[in-house]
Amino acid sequence: MARAVAPDGTEMCVIQTFNWSPELFTTRFVFRKPGGPWGSFYYDHQDGLWAGSRVSLDPAAQMAVFFRDGAPVITFAWTSETYQLQRPGWNRTVTGPQWKLPADWSPP
């Protein structure tokens, strides 16, 4: 999975949880500002495996772009916590985490 740390210390990554069903993986984007709790955004609940992905950071724009199969699929502005999902039929923008994770949670 793609992981990155922004210049301000914000951690971010794409994670997958195996569903033990024909809907193979639930995929989420998670992030944490230094000293804060992890926040989470939805990507897909019927996803395939992200075998290889990369992330590109643009410190001047304070933006991270996560790629899947060479195409940008998630854009995250770490200062405003704005998540943009770019999937066919699923373009949406959300500011602030959709879910806050438990204090003891950490990415696999």
108 in a structural domain? no
106 in a structural domain? no
Query: How many domains are contained in the chain?
Result: 1
| Residue numbers of the domain that contains 11 | 3-98
Contact (Cβ atoms closer than 8 angstroms) between residue 32 and residue 10: yes
Q: Which residue in the block uniquely carries the two structure tokens 């643009």?
A: 58
As a whole number of angstroms, the distance between CA 89 and CA 64 comes to 22
Query: How confident is the model at residue 50, as a pLDDT?
Result: 85
107 in a structural domain? no
Query: How confident is the model at residue 45, as a pLDDT?
Result: 86
Query: How confident is the model at residue 49, as a pLDDT?
Result: 84
104 in a structural domain? no
pLDDT in tens, 74-95: 999 999 999 999 877 778 899 9
53 in a structural domain? yes
Residue 36, classed as helix, strand or coil, is: coil
DSSP of 40-103: EEEEEEEE----SEEEEEETTTTEEEEEETTEEEEEEETTTTEEEE--TT--EEEES-SEEPPT
Query: How confident is the model at residue 46, as a pLDDT?
Result: 87
Query: How confident is the model at residue 13, as a pLDDT?
Result: 95
Query: How confident is the model at residue 65, as a pLDDT?
Result: 97
Q: Which helix (H) or strand (E) holds 28?
A: strand 25-32
75 in a structural domain? yes
CATH of the domain at 75: 3.90.930
pLDDT in tens, 16-59: 999 888 888 999 999 999 999 999 999 988 888 887 789 999 99
Query: How confident is the model at residue 61, as a pLDDT?
Result: 97
92 in a structural domain? yes
91 in a structural domain? yes
